[in-house]
Structure 1
């Protein structure tokens, strides 16, 4: 781009729009530059996306599975593609975290085809294919460095300002240099931490730094680890990082090249931190460690992490180095080591599992119904399930029981009341995530007035370390009532009031109204016209219920010789008004405890419902006074 041409164009525009336009252009360009300078990570992402193949990836094609602990030029290319810093060629915790994020950002191509929802951190075939696609599609262009880009911007802005007659930007006035003091102290939490084999980024110590008299930028922290005796620390802990809240400041792999041994102590320096603490302010920094996948054999030591006196260095605005902590004892915290925790699963009934209710089946063809939806959550480790066992309470008029993962059929077995085990499964559940499994039943055509309930009896499998997971407690789904024709209740509204019916200031009565809709499914339905068939009760909050005799049933449905007719697929509203004077003070409610219905006009071919099928046909409690 020719800056002179840009400047000339801007000058012409300035003549048209005046000085205000010139000021706006200058302000806009400065804002753009400021944004780029303050968002260097974004700049690097853009450079990475349009900048062609990184130097580390020249001649690289991903052909092998990459995972934690591996090394090589392909790992270094992987780090370059995923913006992992530093790019050491070693597959450590930062690389694994970047792989997981990459897999989840491209879940549709990498995870979904495998039935996964969370990244694994392992570069398998699907991940390699995506990475190789990135290498193949990358344009071969030369991108200037960030410093070069900044210089170009500076030249462009100054040339444009000169052409438009705008004064150069005055140098930013720096605050007066002040000498400060750096203070540091240990935090109470975390404490007594146990780090298991393979654990990643476990907080083992935290410390607070304070800046007095000046802003202070923390640029270096020296950490010392001691495991006692001749124990080699990096045989147990292979990574350490400093965190500001949830944001990583800097981390380093621990090995013989990065740690300095002195007696039984192993030290590591984390420098170039750039953590600013404002004058009079404070900041809490957390030390997190990662463990090797498998600890060495033998008794596991306790490890102490320590910051010695003056082990934290900062620089104030006067350019003077400040050191902390002042205490000769420094800051320290011990933590324990333990072998990997055995993974486990927690089973529960999913919130969307069908409540006890009615399911309509076809008279002409077999019908699949949902019996239960179960959540299986992996805890402590990634888990792979290999069997799932369920049990039916009744197999009459049923054909097959099926297990689904979403819409994917995992297995089908002949329906039986004996325990049914679905085997040869490979259900992967990442740590702290949940897999939802659905059990369905294929019911014979014409099945009527059946009640099915399924129980999740057991699951089996292994964790990431091939340890067998412990058993679960069985979980019952709710009963599903199967009919070819039946009413479906909806739109239930209730109200109840305490009223002095005689106006004499005596005992109060409860006056209630319960309204509900009935939809006829599978065929015509008749609801009994007799209020006795509703078995309306006045129920105290404690004590025995009383039958209510003052009951009125109203509806727009046509009454026959036995019941009110609701035509197939039609919906009709019914209202029950009930009044009761219990004479006893206290909290009372009105409830419909039965609903009698039929599939024929003479009242036959139906059923009488109670319990959970009509549990919502009741009011709330109201307080009644007595004489």
Structure 2
């Protein structure tokens, strides 16, 4: 839209100046009125041109940048004594904005504020030296200089460029009418209905977004050491190791924390060479640790690091967690513990009333730098997906492979390559082989032994990551049942640390029992209920409904009344097997055909009149089955893993 307005005005101006004949048919009075309108349009054109140029980042300089720098966004060449150009004039103007770097020229003389020239002479050279000395940390120190040179080169130009591209505005008043200051830039005012329609820190007033005015309030700042991390062991050559964390809390006002002092109980640069504060994953400020950045308070016992200019915003009633991370030298220096404290008034912030608020953390946080290089630490842990206690159906004609253990190897302090894993089996009977997998890839296969070792492995695990491995066994082609468990101890894992130091080991992993059967019933709960008898508080009716599925062959459930039993811990209880839909064989069994299911229902009655009030349930306490009709070989009680979950919820009964 702005471009169209400007284009229209340019066309009108050209028509009136290049073709005056168009006005020959009008009176002088009409001509004068027409020219008056043109002059007004010309004024509007000039205003819009200024606005348009500013919006496009054109020749109008940002707020606070000298007019001599109009059109410049950076210094594109080196400047030195004897050179001339508009960029020299901009340089002089920038230097004259700060009394500490002004050219030493008399008021009103060439080179003085407002009287800048395009020539780089001795006065400009001297002012550049003062500028470089003032910003030594940014200009001189990185290139190994200690004093300004007066030469505007690659180290100086970026600092000047930053002054050229400073924020266009600081507040709304710096912008033209109809514009507001957002993020240092003038942008068109936003129409709104609610505050949600406006940028951050703006509110909706009279249909337009206006800068929110925060009423100044005196606040209160508190701080404490967070429980973790603490007692961290740091290896030589480590980086970004979290050794402590501070919680900052603002009360009664927003508070901006701008300084944190950390005291050490020993010479810190003997143990660490860098320290940084982090807000979550975002770095706040870091510094090298040496005698130049740390102040000695008491020789040998008290050293203070001051971290200022932090600008950590803590909202009223909110908290901000600041983590302390350190680096250690690659070449070991002085090992041992280093304790961090914050002295009185060590943490300083300012509230919205512009009043300084101070806090400290009670107690301390200690970390230890290793006496020698520490190799990777490898902790063995059971994986959540390790097989639960259960069964595997075997085949008398074909060997059966089944997973028996899933375990994790968690590596810290350094990356590692796992070379050996040893698995202990509860039995080797009928087990042909033991196999180790990384995902779906077999990385080892060995003949079964009580302790089966997988050697010459090359399982690489990066520092601070975890690798999951699984163990499977190959069960022989047989009808003979068996039970297998697998386990791994801490010293059953051997690895090489990437930093060539000795590894340390911890933890263990023990798998659940896996039952290998040719034929087995799979029992699962279908439904359960337990409710009080009407108008009674010490008596309840119960019902268990469970499904039996025959795997590997037919199974026969004993039809004898005392072979399928429901029980309770109430003072007395009764049970009854509902035989509806069940047909017993001549040998008094309920046959469940292979891969078929049969539902059984056991009803119960609980009477706690003679007992002690409490919570009670009804459960399947005995399930008897066999692979032959009429047999009762397998009598599973409620301690058996297949039966233990066949129970009701609990119910309170009085006595």
TM-score category by the smaller chain? Answer: 0.5 to 0.7
Sort the Cα spacing of 1:180 and 1:537 in 2 relative to 1 into closer, same or farther, 3 A: closer
* 1:325 Cα deviation from its structure 2 partner: 5.7
Change (3 A) 1:361 1:274: same
The alignment status of 1:556 with 2:589, answered yes or no, reads no
C-alpha change, 1:311 and 1:421, in structure 2 (3 Å) is closer
- Residues 104-253 of structure 1: matches in 2 within 5 Å? 169=189, 187=224, 194=231, 196-198=233-235, 200-202=240-242, 204=244, 206=246, 221=259, 223=261, 231=267, 233-244=268-279, 247-253=282-288
Aligned alpha-carbon RMSD (Å): 5.5
Distance change (3 Å), C-alpha of 1:338 and 1:169: closer
Aligned residue in 1 for 2:479:
447
Residue 400 of structure 1: CA displacement? 0.8
Matching residue of 1:424:
456
Comparing 478-487 with 285-294, greater Cα deviation is found at 285-294
Q: Which residue of 2 aligns with 1:519?
A: 549
- Matches of 1:326 and 1:624 in 2, distance apart? 57
CA distance, structure 2, for counterparts of residue 293 and residue 615 of structure 1:
58
1:522/1:189 CA distance change after superposition, 3 Å: closer
TM-score normalised by L of structure 1:
0.57
Cα deviation, residue 422, structure 1: 2.2
- Where relative contact order (Cα < 8 A, 6+ residues apart) is larger, the structure is 1
The CA deviation string for residues 67-123 of structure 1, in whole angstroms up to 9 with x for no partner, is xxxxxxxxxxxxxxxxxxx9xxx9xxxxxxxxxxxxxxxxxxxxxxxxxxxxxxxxx
Q: How far apart are the structure 2 equivalents of 1:258 and 1:393?
A: 60
Given the alignment of the two structures, is residue 592 of structure 1 paired with residue 623 of structure 2, yes or no? no
Match of 1:469 in 2: 504
Instruction: Pick closer, same or farther for the CA change 1:178–1:423 going to 2, 3 Å.
Output: same
Query: Residues 470 and 181 of structure 1: is their aligned pair in 2 closer, same or farther, counting only changes over 3 Å?
Result: same
Alignment of 1:304-323 (within 5 A): none
Which range moves more in the overlay, 511-520 or 588-597?
588-597
Q: 1:290 aligns with which of 313, 320, 326?
A: 326
- Match status 1:490 vs 2:524: yes
The whole-number CA distance in structure 2 between the counterparts of 1:175 and 1:460 is 62
Q: Distance in 2 between matches of 1:375 and 1:298?
A: 35
CA contact (8 A) 1:240 1:289 kept: yes
- TM-score normalized by the length of structure 2: 0.54
Instruction: Report whether the alignment pairs 1:358 with 2:387.
Output: no
SS in 2 for 1:237: coil
| Residue-by-residue CA offset, 1:577-606 (whole Å, 9 max, x unaligned) | 345768742466544333333444x34697
Moved more, 305-314 or 431-440: 305-314
SS of alignment partner, residue 248 of structure 1? strand
Q: CA deviation at 1:413?
A: 1.5
Shift of residue 201 of structure 1? 4.6
Measured after TM superposition, the shift of residue 368 of structure 1 is 0.8
> Residues 216 and 317 of structure 1 are in contact (CA less than 8 Å); yes or no, is this contact kept in structure 2?
no
Count of residue correspondences: 461
Residues 541-597 of structure 1 deviation map (CA, whole Å, 9 limit, x = unaligned)? 69xxx896x533425354322322323322221212345768742466544333333
Asked whether 1:614 is paired with 2:647, we answer no
Is 1:409–2:437 an aligned residue pair? no
1:339 to 359, 364, 370: 370
- 8 Å CA contact 1:186–1:208 kept in 2: the answer is yes
Q: Secondary structure at the match of 2:494?
A: strand
- Cα 1:348–1:558, aligned 2, differ >3 Å: closer, same or farther? farther
CA contact (8 A) 1:191 1:335 kept: no
Alpha-carbon separation, structure 1, partners of 2:650 and 2:164: 74
How far apart are 1:488 and its partner, in Å? 1.4
**Using the alignment, how far apart are the partners of 1:552 and 1:311 within structure 2?**
74
Q: 1:227 to 1:580 in 2, by over 3 A?
A: closer
Q: Which 5+ residue runs of structure 2 have no aligned equivalent?
A: 9-54, 56-137, 143-160, 169-174, 180-186, 191-207
389-398 or 267-276, which deviates more: 267-276
CA deviations over 1:411-436 (Å, ceiling 9, x no partner): 222123x2222233344556665443
Q: Are the structure 2 counterparts of residues 368 and 508 from structure 1 closer, same or farther at C-alpha, using a change threshold of 3 Å?
A: same
- The equivalent residue for 2:560 is 530
1:575 aligned onto 2:601: yes
Structure 1 counterpart of 2:3: 4
Note if contact 1:381-1:430 (Cα within 8 Å) is conserved in structure 2: yes
Residue 399 of structure 1 pairs with residue 438 of structure 2: no
User: Take 1:195 and 1:584, find their aligned partners in 2: how far apart are those partners?
Assistant: 59
- Paired with 2:590 and 2:254, the residues of 1 have a C-alpha distance of 83
Instruction: Specify whether residues 364 and 312 from structure 1 end up closer, same or farther in structure 2 by C-alpha distance, changes over 3 A only.
Output: same
Q: Does the aligned pair in 1 maintain the 2:271–2:333 contact within 8 Å?
A: no
Deviations 1:458-504 (A, max 9, x none): 5333566633424545x54222222233221124423345659xx9x
Q: 1:486 to 1:179 in 2, by over 3 A?
A: closer
Please report how far the alpha carbon of residue 399 of structure 1 lies from its aligned counterpart in structure 2 after TM superposition: 1.2
